[in-house]
Structure 1
């Protein structure tokens, strides 16, 4: 079935440049699962056509996708509230309207709750639990309630509601585009853009939850369909201007994405600088994303070094930061030689652990204090030699 994810806000002329407010309908050329049998993960490699868009990007940039909500979740909302899906609702201050089902599918954010939504919703119900929850002294509990719950939870938990569909949707925020690090070089793939997207699925409060955009890409977007996209430049994550400079890249899991773009770019430009990649995931057999490509780059000398860490393949969990510490002496030699260091991926744990490993490497190899190692690292940041794309 041919699907086009129309964005009702953006019915603008194709003569305008494509942008966040006027996304380009990019045709899906390829959509494959990179994980092997037995993996607990699903990582999609998606190739999109930019032909005729006039869009261009540099390695390190991101692609924005304007997603649509899960039809099953929209259906559940309509059933829960016994709403007529054809009812027209106003979607913005300009007075534009859409049928309710379309508004819930393509215009409003329905998977995220905020304190403000709950506070305003309290006016439409006499439910005592909600009246208590929104009291100033219960701010901590209110924040906890919002975490991992969505609009359907709120409507089920705090009824009966004395509100129209219009009053409920007026509480909601506009759908925000999702940004993904671009996994291709334009020099290597003219008129195309590639993405590496991990499908987000988890159970919370007795329901399965799905990432709005990642599961759209994993379950509902087929080759030949289109996605509304735009390029988001990233001025804080880019290759060195000089191709003679060495680069060290740390990108476990989907953090590999921008480094695939870096390596492709340097393969085309025949850069003289060396490159070193640290990649990690759970299992080598099922989770080594882009394994053949990376090993070919290594054999051809485009990728100088490739170190991998597969955390579930041994009794002791091994992560990328452990591989960095194992290569402490050589890493520091690369730093002293002017190498640029990059990290992409999980902000909460991985990026912190990598930063800690960097300090340890500098401290050990230059026989300095921790403070001096931190100053060394700060200088690398200030000169653009230590860059992070973390989320």
Structure 2
């Protein structure tokens, strides 16, 4: 994700009148972002059972606890898996994890009282359900959901717990878990313990989850008569080394997402399960400074049947940096076996292998594991028993149990799992950790989503992205924190411009892909459609607000010359001069003009940082309306909310 607010920012505010939107069609209205990413499942992994009846599935697999998840970026799915594992190891529950889109919900009224349902639900965008939870949400919050029986109350038998993943910088904070909990209780279901709420905006998601789950388990154990036992690691996946196969064997996956890609016959539709290997038609630097990179890339989708509209997002499927792959394999003692072929099999019939097999250790770590992500305190605690020395075991246990100590030593430095293991014990290898524990405990690599910065009318067969390459110096770290995908894209750009061995910021990438199938500078992508759209009526005025460096400055100048008085560009250079001038200050200065445009039903667009800029813009806009129209601020705030509801006020923001 391009965290522009953490770098040398120049804030740009653009006020457009109607025709500019239709002249440029938002040609460069978009910057790199990575707040959301659809959960993708390997097409070759184990599928959910044939039945869509969850009660039937639980009965046939002898389960008494189901953990449903609604996930957009994979985090909710990860928490669901962790809850299921903990329920099994600590309390002996027979647990299963369930994707909400894999099952029907009209039979929830038949779930026996001696079974428990857990819901881990992320809120997406402006209070919306995640893609995989849309049908469930519409059903359960509907006016009269129809269930199998005619009992009153309909869900009087259902016992449930709930945890939500949200972001307080958005107006509808954690609305998914709040609305689902309210609907379930309205239908007669019994909630056990408090409904938890994690806050990504405050950076406390992990600790919010940990603080919620312990009292939840206490309440659940009391209600269900569960007895806690000493937690023992029980693998979900079995791993077998395949002596007769090598990495050159045609049936071995080396990072291909599914069988079509393995056989070299990948066909559409291209989506979150099946990426298109797209040529990069053009790449160039937008910044002129030496110590920072901002990329403009043109991705060719002409051979894919993919289509997009201005305002949509493109997903880039990243590859982990070679340096981090080597670090991970080395610290767990598998560097010499990186190319050994293994098969991975689910030991539980309800579990899914998160990637196709047979494959190699290297391919799993390079293409399928988020090895560069910050590590969770709970995962560190689960690895403590496998430490190579008593001193390391003691340190891992302390890190796992002491919130403040973990923050000081680990999370404050944004260390990934391999860095943590190196930090705790650098001499001995961590060979006792079962590889299955990493498959279960390290999230799957997720596609990164970027705002499309090109016009679908001007270039329907090419998608542009504008991405600041992330490389941040963190106190207490020897090396910089580097963005996984933006540095991967920088390596592709360097390759395209003649560097045979690109090494951006000290990182190397296998940019030619599995079996060199991406040679010629290709990148795996798919498109996600968005509700961030220009008005259908071209006569409506448009106000656009965005923080960014003065990108494409010559093109803005050109548009100004062509459009004349139909276009006005207002800049706010927040890092220039003795005082900081932000975009919200400029809005206030132009309060009269802004209000006049709004009274003409102007559409208002905000793109950028949710935590600071977007929130301030929202507040200032309410004040402008109140001052200019002589109404109370509370009434003005209601007007802004109504604009949001009518899609007259739209945001494409990240935290």
* 2:270 matches 1:9: no
User: Paired residue for 1:184?
Assistant: 454
Deviations 1:297-349 (A, max 9, x none): 12111861111112222221112111111111100100011001010111121
- Following the alignment from structure 2 to structure 1, what is the Cα–Cα distance between the partners of residues 617 and 492? 35
Shift of 1:370: 1.7
User: Paired residue for 2:273?
Assistant: 21
User: Paired residue for 1:311?
Assistant: 574
* 2:244 matches 1:244: no
TM-score, reference length from structure 1: 0.83
Do the aligned residues in 2 keep the contact of 1:90 with 1:166 (CA within 8 Å)? no
User: Paired residue for 2:339?
Assistant: 86
* 2:364 matches 1:103: yes
User: Paired residue for 1:120?
Assistant: 382
Compared with structure 1, are the counterparts of its residues 26 and 37 closer, same or farther at alpha carbon in structure 2 (3 Å cutoff)?
same
Shift of 1:79: 3.0
Does 304-313 or 10-19 show the bigger shift? Answer: 10-19
User: Paired residue for 1:211?
Assistant: 483
The one of 233, 236, 251 aligned to 2:529: 233
Compared with structure 1, are the counterparts of its residues 370 and 167 closer, same or farther at alpha carbon in structure 2 (3 Å cutoff)?
same
* 2:443 matches 1:173: yes
User: Paired residue for 2:415?
Assistant: 149
User: Paired residue for 1:278?
Assistant: none
Deviations 1:245-293 (A, max 9, x none): 111111212xxxxxxxxxxxxxxxxxxxxxxxxxxx3xxxxxx201111
Q: What's the secondary structure of 1:155's corresponding residue?
A: helix
- Following the alignment from structure 1 to structure 2, what is the Cα–Cα distance between the partners of residues 181 and 171? 30
Shift of 1:149: 1.5
TM-score, reference length from structure 2: 0.51
- Following the alignment from structure 1 to structure 2, what is the Cα–Cα distance between the partners of residues 301 and 251? 20
User: Paired residue for 1:158?
Assistant: 424
The one of 310, 318, 323 aligned to 1:67: 318
User: Paired residue for 1:284?
Assistant: none
- Following the alignment from structure 1 to structure 2, what is the Cα–Cα distance between the partners of residues 341 and 328? 14
Does 162-171 or 9-18 show the bigger shift? Answer: 162-171
Larger Rg: 2
Compared with structure 1, are the counterparts of its residues 244 and 90 closer, same or farther at alpha carbon in structure 2 (3 Å cutoff)?
farther
Q: What's the secondary structure of 2:480's corresponding residue?
A: strand
User: Paired residue for 2:13?
Assistant: none
Do the aligned residues in 1 keep the contact of 2:278 with 2:523 (CA within 8 Å)? yes
- Following the alignment from structure 1 to structure 2, what is the Cα–Cα distance between the partners of residues 36 and 337? 40
Aligned residues: 349
Shift of 1:11: 4.1
Do the aligned residues in 1 keep the contact of 2:317 with 2:524 (CA within 8 Å)? yes
Gaps of at least 5 residues in structure 1 are: 1-5, 254-280, 282-287
- Following the alignment from structure 1 to structure 2, what is the Cα–Cα distance between the partners of residues 10 and 130? 37
Shift of 1:142: 4.3
- Following the alignment from structure 1 to structure 2, what is the Cα–Cα distance between the partners of residues 355 and 82? 52
Shift of 1:173: 1.5
RMSD: 2.2
* 2:469 matches 1:199: yes
Gaps of at least 5 residues in structure 2 are: 1-253, 346-351, 497-519
Do the aligned residues in 1 keep the contact of 2:453 with 2:465 (CA within 8 Å)? yes
Do the aligned residues in 1 keep the contact of 2:470 with 2:486 (CA within 8 Å)? yes
Compared with structure 1, are the counterparts of its residues 214 and 295 closer, same or farther at alpha carbon in structure 2 (3 Å cutoff)?
same
Shift of 1:100: 1.6
Compared with structure 1, are the counterparts of its residues 322 and 355 closer, same or farther at alpha carbon in structure 2 (3 Å cutoff)?
same
